[in-house]
Amino acid sequence: MIRQFFTDPTNTPGTVTRSSSIHLQRNHGSAASWTSQGERTSFATNPVMQEGCLPVYEVNFDSKLWGVIQEAARIELFNLPLPEIARFIGLRNSYYQNMVLQLQRMVDRYEEIRSQLDPLKVSLMEAGLRTLVNTIDRGVFYLNWDSLVVDEYLEHCDRRLKRAENHIKEIDRCFDILERIGALISRAQMFKEREDGQLVSAKEYMDYAESCRENDMEELANQISTMATSCLGKLEEALFDTNTGRRTEMYPIYQRFEVMILFRLLEMVLRNMWSFVNALGGRQPIFYIDVMLVNSDVVLYPVSADLYKWMTQTLRGCVESCRYFLRWKHGTCEPCPAIRSEGDEMITFNYVHELERCPELREPDAAFNQRVQLLNRNVVDFLKRLARYSILWHQDKSKRCVLQKRPTSLKEMKELLSVMAEIRGGACEVIDDLLLKVAERMRIIRLYGDSQLEDIKNTWLEMKFVLTAYTKCNREPCYVLGAVDEPIQCMEDHMMSLQSIGASRFATPFVTIIMKQTQETQFVMKSCLADHRLETLRMLEQELELCQKALNDYLDGKRNAFPRFYFISDDEVLNILGGKEAQPVVVFGKVEEWLTAMEAEMQRTNHLITKQAVFYYRYQKSRVDWMFDFQGMVVLAASQIWFTWEVEDVFRSFKTGNRSAMKEYDKKLEEQLNEMVYRIRTNLTRNDMKKLETVLILDVHSKDMVEKFIRDSIMAPDEFGWESQLRFYWVRKLDSLVIRQCSAEFNYGNEYFGLNGRLVITPLTDRIYLTITQV
């Protein structure tokens, strides 16, 4: 049924060597006589296969037989005599067609698997491939087209092929994770820039770079160790149904991972070293050096020797920081434990020794020394240029009053006039700059009350009397004034605005003098054209500008004392600071200080209540009854904390061998939902109903998340499916609630926001949260 070939590594690529088949042997002898001749080969005994070359198969059905079947059918139509064997083949035409098709599909699947193999995959799948080849060999050595167990043979082959396909997928997935690990290492930054972007001294720059590097490398090493151990454990479990981390068959992939880590670390170190060397000679400064005057001498701090020593230590620290990446025990994926030396010093086995022996690191070291020598020469040349003016700061000079000396010649007069002109010109430039700054600042300042005055002016300019036609007389109708309610109301409103403006001491002359004169005159023209009226109004305008500037400075001081004032307008701030409400609150001290204290007390109280809710979660009562004891936002926070802990507890159960922990937790969430729905249908207050509805939305999202974990086989807390979710932790060290998502971490803040409604959580909202937290 099946014909077998073996790839010959000594021949040209693509050539194969044909082995015997059962169909051909039936023409020469029995299977027993054929086997006795010693021609049969197997996966375990063939040396070519042991090197990674698998046999090639094809369906052993001669295509000429189809022509024989067609001729037999035509002969039978003419009722001509037909051999019995031809008649038998013709009757089984559909059977042969079906068998050939199924066998060809099986061979195609085998060829697809064989094309994806490499020596490493063959070594990992050796037992499974041996079983697969032995299963297919039954069709080569034992079965023929008359066998009655062909269907059973095809079913066995299908199971073996599916298992091999699953193994290849698991190996490819493991390789992808290892490549991601390598990409994380190669992209790591060892010279982080300060978040504030401030240029600091050389010592501060080196200390900050080293501290950030140590923390980042330790965190990266722990993350990579967790990812690699989890990935290789899953691969071992899929291939061998064990999870020991020390499987002998897994040794090649352990070795390959360690080699990959070494090369990625070398790539990371080289890239960061070259980045630092190039930054030393770049246009953008990375740190500064102090130039000081000591006893009439210009000196550098730090001196060149100290600076060179610091930079050398920082550069070598790139290699030293790789000590957190530990080597594995031979033939395992377990880190080597630290051992104690004779001097009570703990020795760890890491990649630092291998990296120090790499010749590639000599190139950035040499370039660093050349760059430092060049920079040192530039600094020395700069100090030499400064030394030419050293006579200016020597202390052996006496004061000379040259300007008080009268010029005695025309040349001295010209020099004196030129110096005076230069001094005057420089002073004028400074004054012009100051005037421009003042004008720019005054342009953006709005006078307090200007907007109200402008509204009054525009209102009265555009206001019209309401005229009605008077038709009681026989003559031509005339018009009389109608209702004046609107002008009177505007006058009252504007008088209130003018009174608030007049409360300023700068506007006192406007109220006491000008309005008194206007009341005595009561003529618009005479009041507007009074003597010095325009100058007086301009003076008041300037005084109001000063008043507005002082008011803005006062409000800025209050906003700095209580930042929440930044979110409300100036009028509302003034109303809070000096207004009187219908039910005033007695405040001791300044308003902003009282509000700051109130905000701190709000956060402290909310923190305490949230901590109590987390502690008493399901204590001697059901979960729904527990919700009735606390506020809505507190219930939401505590529920998410416990959900995060329960999910990670399921992950811990996976490591202990409980494979169905996630499904059991899914059933538990379903029971919680049923209990919640039952209580919502009872008679509840409006506030309790809204609270349970909000928690119900969150519980539905949690159950969907767990079902997704079951579907995607999320079995570790460091996988992206769990890392990308909003996770709530109560950190005991901080005694506070912390929210994490991927690499972002936020403090809960303990802000009181009440029982607000909540929208249904969808994959789109999850992506929005992830985008916001990772910005």
At 518-561, the pLDDT tens digits run 666 656 566 677 777 778 778 877 877 888 888 888 888 777 77
Domain annotation covers residue 696: yes
pLDDT value at residue 240: 86
Residues, the chain: 775
Based on the fold, state whether residues 105 and 216 are members of the same structural domain: no
Domain annotation covers residue 526: no
Residue 534: count of CB within 10 angstroms of its CB: 11
pLDDT value at residue 282: 76
Based on the fold, state whether residues 113 and 145 are members of the same structural domain: yes
**CA gap 348, 322 in Å, rounded:** 12
Based on the fold, state whether residues 750 and 702 are members of the same structural domain: yes
Based on the fold, state whether residues 383 and 407 are members of the same structural domain: no
pLDDT value at residue 46: 44
Residue 608 has pLDDT above 80, yes or no: yes
**3-state DSSP assignment of residue 40:** coil
Residue 326 region by backbone torsions, left for phi larger than 0, else alpha for psi between -120 and 50, else beta: beta
Q: Give the residue-averaged pLDDT of 352-374.
A: 87
Residue 18: enclosing H or E segment and its boundaries? strand 16-18
**CA gap 696, 682 in Å, rounded:** 15
Based on the fold, state whether residues 154 and 199 are members of the same structural domain: no
Residue 529: enclosing H or E segment and its boundaries? none
pLDDT value at residue 474: 46
**Among 121-125, 246-250, 322-326, 344-348, the least confident range:** 344-348
Which of 5, 230, 46 is closest to 140 using CA atoms?
5
Based on the fold, state whether residues 625 and 751 are members of the same structural domain: yes
Residue 635 has pLDDT above 80, yes or no: yes
Residue 111 has pLDDT above 70, yes or no: yes
Q: Between the ranges 417-421, 486-490, 558-562, where is the mean pLDDT highest?
A: 417-421
Give the residue numbers spanning the domain of 377.
193-387
**CA gap 412, 419 in Å, rounded:** 11
Based on the fold, state whether residues 614 and 653 are members of the same structural domain: yes
Based on the fold, state whether residues 51 and 153 are members of the same structural domain: yes
Based on the fold, state whether residues 730 and 617 are members of the same structural domain: yes
Domain annotation covers residue 565: no
Among 359, 387, 415, which residue terminates a domain? Answer: 387
Whole-angstrom CA distances from 423 to 392, 420, 630, 738 are: 20, 5, 75, 62
Q: Which is higher by pLDDT, 440 or 280?
A: 280
Based on the fold, state whether residues 206 and 145 are members of the same structural domain: no
What angle separates helix 93-115 from helix 150-186, to the nearest 10 degrees?
20
**3-state DSSP assignment of residue 348:** coil
Domain annotation covers residue 127: yes
Residue 568 has pLDDT above 50, yes or no: yes
734-752: b or e for each residue (b if 16 or more CB lie within 10 Å)? eebbebbbeeeeeebebee
Q: What pTM does this model have?
A: 0.46
Q: Which residue has the tokens 């698997």?
A: 113
**CA gap 504, 506 in Å, rounded:** 5
Query: φ and ψ at 685, to 5 degrees?
Result: -70, 165
Position 408: which residue type? T
pLDDT value at residue 496: 54
Based on the fold, state whether residues 372 and 423 are members of the same structural domain: no
Residue 147 has pLDDT above 60, yes or no: yes
8 A C-beta contact, residue 347 and residue 338: yes
**Among 15-29, 458-472, 599-613, the least confident range:** 15-29
Q: Would you place residue 25 in the very low, low, confident or very high pLDDT band (cuts 50, 70, 90)?
A: very low
**Among 291-295, 462-466, 628-632, 713-717, the least confident range:** 462-466
8 A C-beta contact, residue 741 and residue 724: yes
Give the chain's domain count.
4
What's the CATH number where 691 sits?
1.20.58.1120
39-65: b or e for each residue (b if 16 or more CB lie within 10 Å)? ebbebeebebbeebbbbbbbbbbeeee
Structure tokens at 209: 């770079």
Which positions ≥6 away from 442 have C-beta within 8 Å?
Answer: 545
**Among 25-39, 133-147, 156-170, 562-576, the least confident range:** 25-39
**3-state DSSP assignment of residue 189:** coil
**3-state DSSP assignment of residue 374:** helix
**CA gap 233, 655 in Å, rounded:** 10
Domain annotation covers residue 549: no
Structure tokens at 216: 């980042």
Position 76: which residue type? E
Output Rg (C-alpha) for the chain, integer angstroms: 45
Among 358, 387, 416, which residue terminates a domain? Answer: 387
Domain annotation covers residue 359: yes
Domain annotation covers residue 525: no
Q: Would you place residue 13 in the very low, low, confident or very high pLDDT band (cuts 50, 70, 90)?
A: very low
pLDDT value at residue 727: 92
Domain annotation covers residue 541: no
Position 16: which residue type? V
CA dihedral 567, 572, 573, 579 (to 10 degrees): -160
Among 387, 413, 429, which residue terminates a domain? Answer: 387
Q: Give the residue-averaged pLDDT of 160-180.
A: 90
Based on the fold, state whether residues 17 and 118 are members of the same structural domain: yes
Mean pLDDT of the chain: 77
Whole-angstrom CA distances from 676 to 693, 698, 757 are: 9, 12, 17
At 240-285, the pLDDT tens digits run 888 888 888 888 888 888 899 999 999 999 999 888 888 887 778 8
Q: What is the DSSP letter of 335?
A: B
